[in-house]
């Protein structure tokens, strides 16, 4: 499994993030969502024998992959199979009362799209789940529950608010109509429903934004982000740094507003006033980096 996972992993804005964080030997770092471990490994290299790295990863296979990938490093590594929103209880359990760095990469792992088998891709026929963890450990709704049981208004709201989908009305109505013939069970069924009412133009599949919105709702991604920013900030020591890489306009707005609030009360200073985006060469190499934005702040 490790070889398969390593074959397609490209961390986004890796050099820029590490340069701005300026990690030091002996620091205590919290990484939200380890994914395939690209950031995790580079962080661990910099912490030395006295450093500590706490990584959250809900997917059991990815968590095992990270443990294997980091077993030779000198720093203490804790791979926790929980949502990063639980930062408070995680640190309490580990008896860690202060962090030096929090890093959040909010992008969807390539593994989930290509190999998880839980319905993340518009191009595959898989069970309609979109959960980051295995179903039995998932907290919240599944994509199946959202698509088959939520009201037309609720579907419309998430398509607009989470997906920025301008044709949300039409898509929500089509899903409600399709439900009369029986439950929508697979990702391919859902993709075809959207495609039946929205004509395909260009490379982007017409169901892309719908899938994004449902995934975000199923995993309460915005709620989790708000919570870790709030709780994580309290766990940061003086000169502690927070780096967040977002891939969505609403995510970026939440981070920007939180950072602005900390600066307004003179609790922080920005490292980069404008978000850092991927250079042309990186976008050419990894198309998913085109929407990435990096913001870093220091606690004072």
Mapping DSSP onto H, E and C, the string for the chain reads CHHHHHCCCCCCCHHHHHHHHCCCCCCEEEEECCCCCHHHHHHHHHHCCCCEEEEECCCHHHHHHHHHHHCCCCCEEEEECCCHHHHHHHHHHHCCCCEEEEEEECCCCHHHHHCCCCCCCCCCCCECCCCCCCHHHCCCCCHHHHHHHCCHHHHHHHHHHCCCCCCHHHHHHHHHHHHCCCCCCEHHHHHHHHHHHCCCCCCCCCCHHHHHHHHHHHCCHHHHHHHHHHHHHHHEEEEEEEEEEECCHHHHHHHHHHHHHHHHCCCEEECCCCCEECCHHHHHHCHHHHHCEEEEEEEC
* Region for residue 266 given its phi and psi (left: phi exceeds 0; alpha: psi -120 to 50; beta: otherwise): left
Kindly list the domain boundaries of the chain, sorted by start residue: 2-111+221-299, 141-218
Q: Does the pLDDT of residue 101 top 70, yes or no?
A: yes
Region 186-195: what's the mean pLDDT?
Answer: 97
| Domain boundaries 141-218, CATH class | mainly alpha
Q: How far apart are CA 92 and CA 200, in angstroms?
A: 50
Query: What residues pair up with 244 in beta bridges, in sequence order?
Result: 104, 295
- The pLDDT tens digits for 248-287 are 999 999 999 999 999 999 999 999 989 999 999 999 888 8
- pLDDT for the residue 8: 47
Q: Does the pLDDT of residue 113 top 90, yes or no?
A: no
Q: Does the pLDDT of residue 4 top 60, yes or no?
A: no
Q: Does the pLDDT of residue 7 top 90, yes or no?
A: no
The mean of the pLDDT values for the chain is 93
Region 67-78: what's the mean pLDDT?
Answer: 95
Give the pair of three-digit tokens for residue 37. Answer: 């471990």
- pLDDT for the residue 3: 52
Same CATH topology for 2-111+221-299 and 141-218: the answer is no
- pLDDT for the residue 1: 47
Listed range (119-123, 201-205, 210-214) with the worst mean pLDDT: 201-205
Are residues 297 and 264 in contact, defined by beta-carbon separation less than 8 angstroms?
Answer: no
Give the pair of three-digit tokens for residue 16. Answer: 């820029």
Q: How far apart are CA 201 and CA 66, in angstroms?
A: 39
- pLDDT for the residue 267: 97
Q: How far apart are CA 246 and CA 249, in angstroms?
A: 8
Domain range 2-111+221-299, its CATH number among 3.40.50.10490, 3.40.50.2300, 3.40.50.150, 3.40.50.700: 3.40.50.150
Q: Does the pLDDT of residue 11 top 70, yes or no?
A: yes
With a threshold of 0.85, does the pTM exceed it? yes
- pLDDT for the residue 112: 84
- pLDDT for the residue 6: 53
């Amino acid at each position: 499994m490790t070889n398969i996972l390593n074959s397609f992993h490209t961390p986004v804005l890796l050099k820029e993030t590490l340069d701005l964080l300026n990690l030091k030997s002996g620091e205590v770092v919290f990484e939200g969502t380890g994914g395939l471990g690209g950031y995790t490994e580079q962080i661990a290299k910099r912490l030395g024998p006295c450093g500590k790295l706490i990584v959250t990863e809900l997917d059991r296979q990815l968590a095992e992959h990270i443990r294997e990938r980091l077993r030779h490093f000198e720093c203490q590594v804790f791979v926790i199979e929980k949502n990063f929103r639980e930062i408070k209880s995680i640190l309490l359990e580990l008896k860690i009362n202060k962090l030096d760095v929090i890093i959040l990469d909010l992008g969807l792992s390539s593994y989930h799209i290509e190999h998880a088998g839980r319905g993340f891709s518009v191009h595959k026929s898989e069970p309609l789940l979109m959960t980051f963890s295995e179903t039995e450990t998932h907290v919240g709704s599944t994509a199946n529950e959202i698509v088959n049981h939520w009201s037309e208004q609720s579907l419309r709201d998430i398509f607009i608010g989470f997906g920025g989908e301008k044709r949300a009305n039409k898509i929500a109505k089509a899903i409600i109509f399709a439900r009369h013939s029986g439950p929508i069970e697979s990702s391919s069924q859902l993709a075809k429903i959207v495609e039946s009412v929205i004509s395909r133009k260009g490379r982007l599949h017409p169901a892309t934004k719908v899938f994004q919105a449902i995934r975000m709702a199923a995993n309460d991604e915005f709620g989790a982000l708000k919570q870790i920013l709030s709780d994580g900030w309290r766990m940061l020591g003086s000169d502690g740094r927070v780096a967040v890489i977002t891939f969505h306009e609403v995510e970026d707005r939440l981070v920007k507003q939180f950072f602005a609030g900390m600066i307004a009360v003179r609790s922080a200073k920005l490292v980069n006033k404008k978000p850092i985006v991927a250079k042309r060469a990186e976008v050419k190499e990894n198309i998913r980096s085109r929407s990435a934005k990096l913001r870093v702040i220091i606690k004072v």
